[in-house]
Structure 1
Amino acid sequence: MESYIRLGLAIVIFMMIVIILYRFNAGKSDRRQSSLEIMKERYEKGEITEEEYEKARRKQGK
């Protein structure tokens, strides 16, 4: 009986760790910009030409 309790606790702790890590990583990806968004910003600022922006957009497949 005691081994079932330990197994149950181990499973619960493992699931909690997985959920915490998933949420931590999901938060990171939301804050990062895609390379295409960065290129769009650079185009709007005049740092790159329209041709360079379109080339990057085609490369991304969007």
Structure 2
Amino acid sequence: MSYEEKGLIDVKDKALVFVQKDAGNGFEVYQDGKKIEGIREININADIDLGYPTTHEIEYLTGHTKG
């Protein structure tokens, strides 16, 4: 059974995935299939109605990223 059939998302082939665990209780971000570490803040701008490309800004804590 595929991820979609199970109601899940396969992050491996997605450009950007934001996962909110609980309201105000942490999140995970995957970019190009890899989990990003050390994020302090993320802003995602997406406008479905006007068809503009989705943009995002990520703020990191210096020294807390993994590579």
TM range (shorter): under 0.3
TM-score (norm 2): 0.24
TM-score (norm 1): 0.25
Structure showing greater radius of gyration is: 1
